[in-house]
Amino acid sequence: MKNYWILLLLIISHVSCVQDDEFSIPEITCDDPNLTATKSVDDMMKASGSSASKYLEDDVLTGYVVSSDEGGNIYKNISLVDDSGKGFNISLDRYDNYTSFEPGRKVYIKLNNLYTQVDFGALEIGDLYNNTQIGRIPEIIIGDHLLRSCEVVDEETLVNKISISDISDKYLHTLIEFDNVQFKDNEIGGNYYSSSKDLGGATNRIIVDELGYEVIVRTSSYSDFANNPLPTGKGKIRGVLTRFNTDYQLFMRTENDISMNEPRSSINRLGIDALKSRSEGAIDDNYFIEGVVTLAPKGGNITQRNIVLQDETGGIVVRFDNSVENKISEGNKLKILIKDSKLGSFADVKQISDLSFNGEIDGESIVEVVEETSSLPLPIKVTLNELKTGNFESVLVEIEDVQFKTEDVDQIISGSRIITDCNTKFTVYTRSLASFGSEKIPNGSGKIIGIASSYYNEKQLILRNTDWLSNLNGNRCKEPEPLFYENFESISNTGYDVYVNLTDWYNISQIGGKEKWEAREYSNNKYAQISAYNTDETAMIVWLITPEIDLNGSNNEILTFETKDAYNNGDALEVFISSDFTGNNLGSATWDKLNAKIAEGSNSGYASSFTSSGDIDLSTYNGKVRIGFKYSGGDPSKTTTYQVDEIKILGN
């Protein structure tokens, strides 16, 4: 007992000798690997395909974490962005990755022996799953490939604050934030997750902004906020953007990513661009669109039932049940109720239809003239190449420093005419019924204003008037000289079984059949035509091959031609180029297929006009070449008729 008390006193005495200010917390040190990035996300996307492939180089990719699985809504994945802000995703077979790879943490990724893939528009990195797909990196080797840096940046430096209309693949697997958004009216009252709306273990809810743009917010049944009610107000939401097929989806990381405490908006107006982004079909929601009429039937360059309407987001063709020629004028500002109308396309141009000009919905006029005379939208200045993207459909545009091609000068403007900046060509289309259709095309350059449109795959400019024609008085640029041109007008005899027989051309049946390309004429225009119809040839392969064309003395060569189809029951025409065809080696010569636009879609008669092939780049070819038009059909299985005309190669 005595020894016990002595021991106790010694312990107390020892402890009492330690002063409080002598305690210290061990310093936490970080050993940064300090690796150097040798690849970017763009580099890796170029090196990756649609199936998983093993990466065998000793390269390093660096990224900053933007995702988090802390809230249970993101499972065994981390999303990162590289120094350029480009996002990518890594699959890891481990829980609670946020404890090591929290938002803002810089991470070095050793790529050697990992698998990469471009999936739904984004770079995926991981292990191999099912021989073709990206799977999760096993936990035991995660540390061999993912190394933490000591650097952690503020999340605010990583977030992209954008509008829903800005969404594109550019933002995949990045952190984005929307403001002034709310959950759609029909979502209110539900929880983030609903078992009755389960899609693959999660629920898709829709948020909308004040112009009607929408995006999916996806919540897993395993998230710790799955059973919480959706906020009823308006405000901000933040998360990681992904894409499944064509649907963009936002994944919140935790419920702290959302703040919707402001009063809800009554969203009834739908921006035209938001309308066009929706799935085609009947419109059930009680929306209206509002914009200025930029093209009306009075000028004759659009049909009597159609107008083009444009707001601050975009333009669209509006089609009524009856003529509005004497009811709507250009410059009218209209409010149009679109409930029970139909969103669709004609010739690949978006339109809203099934509208009655004098109709009503619940006692309100479907069409209201808000202003009789409103200022037209300012034309967007674009280049011909920008017009070709199709991104300005039904929008008023202005193109500077262009001219009509030489062959169109002094011709009337109606029909399909070509403008050019001497590098790129573009079609201007004017109806014969247009009030200005007989105006002559001037011999000068300048700016042209019109409405961007399409006729199927051919992008077009639709004119509103020709007030600007007098401004085409500048000096013309020098158009590329034709290295080769054939319009078949030199053929003296045309008709049924009159085969194309031009000097140095070859018109050959590859399998010994009788039928060949014929010389035909219609409406004072000659062309080459072929069809398997009524030939009794069950298999028919026929080539029309040009003379040799020497590309040695030129650069930037471009091939163009025109085609027309009729009674189309299957694609049967292809175009090739060869540098070693001699006339008697059709089967053994090397033929490279060219990416050309071929006429299509005329199933019950002849197309109303020829289709341009588009500019086909031949700049990688040298020496003497030949162009071959190959028809592969058979009677009666594939008998499509094709006409070919205006074959031209240009170069500088």
Q: How far apart are CA 536 and CA 540, in angstroms?
A: 10
Question: Could you tell me which residues are beta bridge partners of residue 453?
Answer: 460
Q: Compute, in degrees rounded to 10, the torsion defined by CA atoms 584, 586, 592, 598.
A: 120
Band of residue 621 on the pLDDT scale cut at 50, 70, 90: very high
Q: Judging by beta carbons within 10 Å of its beta carbon (0-12, 13-18, 19+), is residue 512 exposed, middle or buried?
A: exposed
Q: Judging by beta carbons within 10 Å of its beta carbon (0-12, 13-18, 19+), is residue 608 exposed, middle or buried?
A: exposed
Give the end of a domain, one of 138, 155, 172: 155
Provide the domain limits for residue 314. Answer: 272-371
Residues 387 and 530 in one domain: no
Helix, strand or coil, per DSSP, at residue 171: helix
Band of residue 131 on the pLDDT scale cut at 50, 70, 90: confident
Band of residue 15 on the pLDDT scale cut at 50, 70, 90: very low
Q: Which of 307, 81, 36, 299 is nearest to 172 (CA)?
A: 81
The number of angstroms, rounded, from the C-alpha of 190 to the middle of its chain's C-alpha atoms is 34
Cβ of 470: how many Cβ atoms within 10 Å?
10
Structure tokens belonging to residue 603? 């199933």
Mean pLDDT of 284-290: 91
Q: What is the pLDDT of residue 651?
A: 86
CATH of the domain at 536: 2.60.120.200
CATH of the domain at 94: 2.40.50
Identify whether 187 is part of a domain: yes
Q: What is the pLDDT of residue 470?
A: 79
Residues 636 and 530 in one domain: yes
Give the end of a domain, one of 420, 455, 479: 479
Identify whether 645 is part of a domain: yes
* % of the chain beyond a pLDDT of 70: 96
Residue with tokens 């929008």: 395
Identify whether 7 is part of a domain: no
Q: How far apart are CA 207 and CA 238, in angstroms?
A: 12
Q: What backbone phi and psi angles, to 5 degrees, belong to 14?
A: -70, -45
Residues 524 and 576 in one domain: yes
Band of residue 25 on the pLDDT scale cut at 50, 70, 90: very low
Please tell me the number of Cα atoms within 13 Å of 284 on its side-chain side: 2
Q: How far apart are CA 607 and CA 154, in angstroms?
A: 60
Contacts of 389 (CB under 8 A, 6+ apart): none
Identify whether 563 is part of a domain: yes
Mean pLDDT of 611-627: 93
Q: Which of 472, 467, 269, 441 is nearest to 376 (CA)?
A: 467
Residues 597 and 518 in one domain: yes
CA distances from 438 to 377, 402, 426, 466, 524 (A): 27, 21, 20, 11, 19
pLDDT digit string (tens) for 78-118? Answer: 999 999 999 999 999 999 999 999 999 999 999 999 999 99
Q: What is the pLDDT of residue 95?
A: 95
Give the end of a domain, one of 262, 287, 311: 262
18 membership: H or E segment, kind and range: none
Contacts of 262 (CB under 8 A, 6+ apart): 233, 234, 235
- Over the chain, what is the mean pLDDT? 92
Strands annotated E in 197-340: 202-209, 214-220, 234-244, 247-251, 258-262, 281-282, 288-295, 306-310, 315-320, 333-337
Identify whether 238 is part of a domain: yes
- How long, in residues, is the chain? 652
What would you report as the CA-atom Rg of the chain, rounded to the nearest whole angstrom? Answer: 33
Q: How far apart are CA 315 and CA 2, in angstroms?
A: 99
The number of angstroms, rounded, from the C-alpha of 234 to the middle of its chain's C-alpha atoms is 30
Q: Compute, in degrees rounded to 10, the torsion defined by CA atoms 98, 104, 105, 109.
A: 100
Strand arrangement, sheet containing 333-337: 281-282, 342-346, 349-355, 315-320, 306-310, 288-295, 333-337, 367-371
Mean pLDDT of 451-467: 90
Cβ of 241: how many Cβ atoms within 10 Å?
25
Contacts of 281 (CB under 8 A, 6+ apart): 342, 343, 344
353 membership: H or E segment, kind and range: strand 349-355
Residues 122 and 250 in one domain: no
Whether the predicted model's global pTM rises above the 0.75 cut: no
CATH of the domain at 302: 2.40.50.140
Cβ of 650: how many Cβ atoms within 10 Å?
21
pLDDT digit string (tens) for 563-601? Answer: 999 999 999 999 999 999 999 899 899 999 999 999 998
Q: Which of 77, 101, 83 is nearest to 43 (CA)?
A: 83
Mean pLDDT of 441-456: 93
Q: Which residue has the higher pLDDT, 329 or 25?
A: 329
CA distances from 325 to 174, 297, 302, 322, 431 (A): 49, 5, 10, 9, 16
Q: What is the DSSP string of 62-127?
A: EEEE----TTSSS-SEEEEE-TT--EEEEEBS-S-GGGTS-TTEEEEEE-TT-EEEEETTEEEEEE
Q: What is the pLDDT of residue 2?
A: 40
Residues 599 and 498 in one domain: yes
Identify whether 610 is part of a domain: yes
Residues 522 and 441 in one domain: no
Residues 549 and 623 in one domain: yes
Band of residue 471 on the pLDDT scale cut at 50, 70, 90: confident
Structure tokens belonging to residue 512? 């010994």
Q: Which residue has the higher pLDDT, 51 or 62?
A: 62
Q: Which of 567, 623, 576 is nearest to 595 (CA)?
A: 576
Identify whether 51 is part of a domain: yes
Residues 517 and 410 in one domain: no
Q: What is the pLDDT of residue 5?
A: 37
Please tell me the number of Cα atoms within 13 Å of 447 on its side-chain side: 10
The answer to whether the bond into 480 is cis (omega within 30° of 0) is no
Q: How far apart are CA 444 and CA 431, in angstroms?
A: 23
Structure tokens belonging to residue 484? 């080769």
Name the DSSP class of 637: T
Residues 203 and 217 in one domain: yes
Q: What is the pLDDT of residue 458?
A: 82
Q: How far apart are CA 276 and CA 269, in angstroms?
A: 14
Domain total for the chain?
Answer: 5
Identify whether 582 is part of a domain: yes
Has residue 9 got a pLDDT over 50? no
Band of residue 438 on the pLDDT scale cut at 50, 70, 90: very high
Lowest mean pLDDT among 109-113, 407-411, 605-609, 642-646: 605-609
Residues 495 and 627 in one domain: yes
Q: What is the pLDDT of residue 16?
A: 40
Please tell me the number of Cα atoms within 13 Å of 158 on its side-chain side: 27
Band of residue 18 on the pLDDT scale cut at 50, 70, 90: very low
Structure tokens belonging to residue 83? 């120094």
Residues 454 and 569 in one domain: no
Name the DSSP class of 379: P
